[in-house]
Amino acid sequence: MVRQKMAALPGSTDKPSKKQKTQASAKDQASAKDQASAKDQDSAMDQDSAMDQDSAKDLVTLQGARKAKEAGKKDHLRAPKTRETYAQHVNQACRWLQSHFKEDGTLSTPSHAEEGSEIYHDPMFKDAFEERPNHCSSEALAIYLGWRGFNEDSKCSPSTIDGIRVAFKRLWDEASVL
């Protein structure tokens, strides 16, 4: 098919009309949108594959993240000095309790038959301040706090008594979570 150029009317130029410019511009825009859409799809596919790779990396590092979380809880949940003080309170209480027992686990001094003294003969009493509390723990802690707060030789301030109580509360709360 042979195209023939139509003769221009007198007074007209070979310039495209405004309508033709608008149509051409619309076609160019549509073409640009199609190209952009294709690029976006390619980019989205690249991102999807990158996300799949990241997901695989995330799965591998989830155990590492859990360990980091646990370490962060330990490091940042309480100040280091507070953790140290709580550990000292617990250690002192454990030494105090163990000082009342012989190596074979029996009481080092015989107790008088008083009301409430049967707890001293409970085999679990000597382990009352362990990390996991037992049925003797609350009574043993009450005895220790009373001794520390009211004994003339070892009398300490109410804030120290509160600190000891909180130290054991934290110890036993953490043990119950595990």
Q: What is the structure's pLDDT at 113?
A: 58
- Considering the domain architecture, whether residues 153 and 100 belong to the same structural domain is answered as yes
Q: How far apart are CA 102 and CA 118, in angstroms?
A: 18
Of the pLDDT bands very low, low, confident and very high (cuts 50, 70, 90), residue 21 is low
The answer to whether residue 144 sits within a structural domain is yes
- Considering the domain architecture, whether residues 89 and 71 belong to the same structural domain is answered as no
- Considering the domain architecture, whether residues 132 and 50 belong to the same structural domain is answered as no
The answer to whether residue 141 sits within a structural domain is yes
Comparison of pLDDT for 70 and 13, the residue scoring more: 70
- Considering the domain architecture, whether residues 72 and 86 belong to the same structural domain is answered as no
- On the question of pLDDT at 64 being above 50, the answer is yes
Q: What are phi and psi of 101, to 5 degrees?
A: -125, 150
- Considering the domain architecture, whether residues 84 and 171 belong to the same structural domain is answered as yes
Comparison of pLDDT for 125 and 39, the residue scoring more: 125
The answer to whether residue 1 sits within a structural domain is no
- Considering the domain architecture, whether residues 84 and 61 belong to the same structural domain is answered as no
Q: What's the mean pLDDT in 78-85?
A: 84
pTM for the model = 0.55
- On the question of pLDDT at 105 being above 90, the answer is no
Q: What's the mean pLDDT in 124-130?
A: 90
Of the pLDDT bands very low, low, confident and very high (cuts 50, 70, 90), residue 165 is very high
- On the question of pLDDT at 84 being above 80, the answer is yes
- Considering the domain architecture, whether residues 37 and 101 belong to the same structural domain is answered as no
- Considering the domain architecture, whether residues 144 and 162 belong to the same structural domain is answered as yes
Number of domains observed in the structure of the chain: 2
Comparison of pLDDT for 53 and 73, the residue scoring more: 73
Q: What is the structure's pLDDT at 14?
A: 56
Which structural domain range is residue 163 located in? 78-177
- Considering the domain architecture, whether residues 98 and 58 belong to the same structural domain is answered as no
